[in-house]
């Protein structure tokens, strides 16, 4: 037997199904929109953090640049002192004992220069790692 379904029911049922589908799609769209808004907020926060970290990195590089310059100045001063001691020993104005003292001091100066250069190399390596660059200042 064929059941006769009234015309109103035949129209209302498909419309209700479409309405349900539409409501479901609308909910999915709303959920996606909310998810995108949350991701946008997170991205904004991360971007701000990156700017802050970039500023810190720049300050760190400046600080290392300052220390590097101080180390270079120390090396220059010790090299000038070393040259002065060499000049004194070569000029003949020193006694034998003074020459021995000068050579000992000269050895200490050269060791200090080596130590400062090692420290400078470490600073340069740290700065290069931080910035991702490779520079060769003193070899």
The whole-number pLDDT of residue 50 equals 84
pLDDT at 85 over 50: yes
Residue 137 is predicted with a pLDDT of 44
Q: Sorting pLDDT into bands at 50, 70 and 90, what band is 118?
A: confident
| 78 in Cβ contact with 116 (< 8 Å) | yes
Structure tokens at 52: 């802050």
pLDDT of residue 31: 92
Residues contacting residue 64 through CB under 8 Å, at least 6 positions apart:
123, 126, 127, 130
Phi, psi dihedrals of residue 21, rounded to the nearest 5° = -65, -45
On the question of pLDDT at 37 being above 50, the answer is yes
């Amino acid at each position: 037997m064929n059941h006769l379904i009234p015309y109103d029911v035949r129209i209302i049922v498909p419309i209700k199904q479409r309405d349900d589908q539409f409501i479901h799609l609308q909910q999915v769209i709303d959920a996606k929109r909310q998810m995108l808004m949350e991701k946008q907020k997170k991205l904004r926060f991360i971007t701000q953090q990156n700017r802050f970290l970039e500023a810190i990195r720049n300050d760190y590089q400046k600080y290392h640049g300052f220390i590097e310059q101080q180390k270079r100045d120390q090396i220059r001063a010790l090299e000038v002192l070393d040259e002065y001691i060499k000049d004194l020993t070569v000029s003949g104005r020193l006694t034998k004992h003074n020459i021995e003292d000068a050579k000992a001091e000269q050895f200490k100066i050269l060791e200090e220069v080596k130590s400062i250069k090692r420290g400078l190399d470490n600073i340069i390596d740290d700065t290069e790692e931080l910035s991702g660059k490779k520079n060769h200042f003193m070899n």
